[in-house]
Amino acid sequence: MNQLKPRENGYQSRIRTNVIRLFRWNGAWGAATALMAFGPKFLWNKALVFTLLAVGLDVAVGVGMILANKNYLAELDELQRKVQLNSMGITLGVGLIAGVPLSVMDAYHVIPFHADIAYLLILTSLTFAVSNLYGTWRYR
């Protein structure tokens, strides 16, 4: 019986590192977005320079988050990448299918509320989470 030796920096260990890195970047982006959204009103009394700096910080941290996500996806194995790709495809489709009519209905006052971008963000986040869970369950 030839026993297998555990790898030094195996798949699970690399994924764990990348997930932690991705969470940190997501958290940093959330904080930078909050600073950009609420800072002008509550922290620097709408001073233009600070607002522009906050926007620049938000974009820079956002780029870092995208790169962290890209690295995370690149490290995934083929099945996990397939699950992620399916989830992203479904999310993109739902975002378009729901987003465009919502915008049109808002423009023609069909709906009694303003079609805020936040609604679309919530919908796409939920869609991604559900399709990801489904993919994981399907290949469990």
Partner 1 sequence: MKNRLKVLRAERDWTQAQLADALDVSRQTINAIETGKFDPSLPLAFRAARLFALRIEEIFHDPALDKDRRSLAT
Residues forming contacts to partner 1 in the complex (CB under 8 A) are 1-4, 6-7, 10-12, 15, 77-80, 82, 136, 138-140
Nearer to partner 1, 1 or 48 (CB): 1
Q: How far is the CB of 4 from partner 1 (least distance, A)?
A: 5
Nearer to partner 1, 108 or 137 (CB): 137
Q: How far is the CB of 19 from partner 1 (least distance, A)?
A: 12
Q: How far is the CB of 13 from partner 1 (least distance, A)?
A: 9
Nearer to partner 1, 11 or 38 (CB): 11
Number of neighbouring beta carbons within 10 Å of residue 21: 17
Nearer to partner 1, 109 or 140 (CB): 140
* Backbone torsion region of residue 45, taken as left when φ is above 0, otherwise alpha when ψ lies between -120 and 50, otherwise beta: left
Task: Decide if 54 contacts 36 (C-beta within 8 A).
Answer: yes
- Which CA distances in Å does 113 have to 26, 116, 121? 30, 9, 16
What are the tokens at 105? 């209905």
